[in-house]
Chains A and B, each alone.
Chain A
Amino acid sequence: MNADVLIVGGGIQGCATAYQLARRGVSVLVVEKDYIARHASGVNAGGVRLIGRDLAEVPLSRQSMRMWHTLDEELEADTGFRAKGLINIAADDADIAALNDRQQKMQALGYDHERIISRDELRERLPFVDPTCVGGAMSELDGYAIPYKATNAFRLAAERHGATFLEGTELAGLRRIGEAWLAATSRGDISAGTIVNCAGAWADRVAAMIGDNVPLSHAAPMLMITARMPHFASPVVGAVSRQLSFKQFENGTVLIGGGAKGFADRAANRTRLDYAKLAQASRTAIEFFPIMAKASINRMWAGLEAYMPDNLPVIGPAVNADRAFHAFGFSAHGFQMGPVVGKVMADLVLTGASDFDLSAFRIDRYDRKVL
């Protein structure tokens, strides 16, 4: 098999990159060892969040948010995206101080998408919040999407433009032969001019095949979802300094996250849960929203996600090989970035450059540190 570009990994970054390349006439092959959106891209919390981003990510994230708002039309699909807003709740005055501090930094850079809301506005927007909460920060642009649907929408759109997806196909080895990459896969050899590494929690192994070392780790952030509840919270909810994150979907189910980690078993392709930590997340949810005491947990799960030491992704060209690019290590906040990353990667593949400053995301940013 041959293609101009071989993408390794069928998560949202790989599917979005495939879409952006295919629509510009490039022949694209995507290999995915399980099925599309099997891991972090399909089982994440679905948050489409601009608020609270690391400053290095804000330009990319803002552009991605603009793309989310018209994504359904562009992909001719239902990604489940809803711009319901996101509120980070301030539980006390220390939280308010932290928000004021951030607000100053954001204003200095000219960003206006986050704003502080008063206790009254908090109560108005979230009538069921515990009355002791003092305020919060809100981004009106934020919301959520349905992870599997959104990722699959990119895949289907890419296929309409001629991209090929090989599911159940694992990359076993990679060699550079002259001007081509020769990839050995469980479905035979693939020859491609360019390789793009979007392999998520497995991306360090693909990077090593390309020739780049990277200090990637993986973990299993845990989630719980309830049976349907009467609607009580329209915006996505987080907290400034507590492990609280939840959203009530339009179907009434409430997804509870918060960042507690289970146990990741990458070799066995699976995760285990830490029930004591999930119980803590349940306590926090009820503390902030007493109505949650009536909730029933329907499912609990964890996905395998890739983390970088600084919680920033790797986006950019390989440093030790030609015609190879990376996009991985999104550290549990990459779903929102998917649309723009697809665009950035297509630009890199086709022109070698990007409109964005990618210096914070270089793969070798840890190489130069003397240990």
Chain B
Amino acid sequence: MFRSLRTDNPELVRVSVNGHAVEIASGQSVWSALALSGQTTTRKAALSGEDRSAYCAMGVCFECMVEIDGIPNQQACLRRVADGMTIATQTITETSVAK
């Protein structure tokens, strides 16, 4: 379980994670918004479709790619939250079909 050690009263922003409203400290990583709200699946593996989640948290492994405001392949560990941001698990696999 992930938790925050913050005791200050940071300014909060509201984002949506897979349709759930989440309040999160301004300036934090998108990955922390997922982790602290318990929605740790960032993407589906390209072939097997298995759940994947952040691994390196420093921009190296590309496991934490999510869709942000409809644009896929965004690294959740590198992007910062912004008020009104829509974050979704990236579900593109070999067999996905465009709608």
Chain A contact residues, CB within 8 Å of chain B: 128, 227-232, 250-252, 291, 294, 296
CA of A23 to CA of B71, assembled, Å: 52
Supposing A228-B46, A230-B99 touch, asked if A296 and B94 sit within 8 A by C-beta, the answer is no
Q: Does B1 contact A (CB under 8 A)?
A: no
Q: Does B97 contact A (CB under 8 A)?
A: yes
Q: A229-B96, A231-B95 are in contact. List 16 more A-B contacts (CB 8 A).
A: A227-B72, A227-B92, A228-B46, A229-B92, A229-B98, A231-B98, A232-B97, A232-B98, A251-B46, A252-B92, A252-B95, A252-B96, A291-B98, A294-B70, A296-B72, A296-B73
The reply to whether B97 and A227 form a contact with Cβ atoms under 8 Å apart is: no
Q: Which of A128, A250, A291, A294 contacts B71 (CB 8 A)?
A: A294
Q: Does B93 contact A (CB under 8 A)?
A: yes
CA of A229 to CA of B93, assembled, Å: 8
The reply to whether B96 and A231 form a contact with Cβ atoms under 8 Å apart is: yes
Q: Which of A128, A230, A294, A296 contacts B96 (CB 8 A)?
A: A230
Inside 8 A of B92's CB, which chain A residues have their CB? 227-230, 252
Expressed in whole angstroms, the minimum distance between the Cβ of A247 and any Cβ of chain B is: 15
Expressed in whole angstroms, the minimum distance between the Cβ of B16 and any Cβ of chain A is: 19
Closest 10 CB pairs of A and B: A232-B98, A230-B96, A230-B98, A296-B73, A231-B97, A251-B94, A228-B92, A252-B94, A227-B73, A230-B97
| Chain B 51-99 residues near chain A, CB threshold 8 A | 70-73, 92-99
Supposing A227-B73, A296-B72 touch, asked if A250 and B94 sit within 8 A by C-beta, the answer is yes
Expressed in whole angstroms, the minimum distance between the Cβ of A136 and any Cβ of chain B is: 20
Interface contact tally, CB-CB below 8 A: 38
Q: Which of A128, A228, A291, A296 contacts B93 (CB 8 A)?
A: A228
Chain B contact residues, CB within 8 Å of chain A: 46, 70-73, 92-99
Expressed in whole angstroms, the minimum distance between the Cβ of B28 and any Cβ of chain A is: 24
CA of A231 to CA of B73, assembled, Å: 16
Expressed in whole angstroms, the minimum distance between the Cβ of A122 and any Cβ of chain B is: 17
Inside 8 A of A294's CB, which chain B residues have their CB? 70-72
Inside 8 A of B97's CB, which chain A residues have their CB? 230-232
Expressed in whole angstroms, the minimum distance between the Cβ of A234 and any Cβ of chain B is: 10
13 of the cross-chain contacts (CB-CB < 8 Å) are A227-B73, A228-B93, A228-B94, A229-B92, A229-B96, A230-B98, A230-B99, A231-B96, A231-B98, A251-B94, A252-B92, A291-B98, A296-B73
CA of A294 to CA of B70, assembled, Å: 8
CA of A254 to CA of B92, assembled, Å: 13
The reply to whether A252 and B71 form a contact with Cβ atoms under 8 Å apart is: no
CA of A359 to CA of B54, assembled, Å: 61
Inside 8 A of A296's CB, which chain B residues have their CB? 72-73
Inside 8 A of B99's CB, which chain A residues have their CB? 230
CA of A1 to CA of B58, assembled, Å: 54
Inside 8 A of A250's CB, which chain B residues have their CB? 94
Expressed in whole angstroms, the minimum distance between the Cβ of B69 and any Cβ of chain A is: 11
The reply to whether B93 and A252 form a contact with Cβ atoms under 8 Å apart is: yes
Expressed in whole angstroms, the minimum distance between the Cβ of A56 and any Cβ of chain B is: 39
CA of A227 to CA of B73, assembled, Å: 8
Inside 8 A of A229's CB, which chain B residues have their CB? 92, 96, 98
CA of A134 to CA of B91, assembled, Å: 34
Expressed in whole angstroms, the minimum distance between the Cβ of A29 and any Cβ of chain B is: 39
Most buried by A among B70, B73, B99: B73
CA of A232 to CA of B92, assembled, Å: 12
Q: Name A250's closest neighbour in chain B (CB-CB).
A: B94
Inside 8 A of B94's CB, which chain A residues have their CB? 228, 250-252
Inside 8 A of A251's CB, which chain B residues have their CB? 46, 94
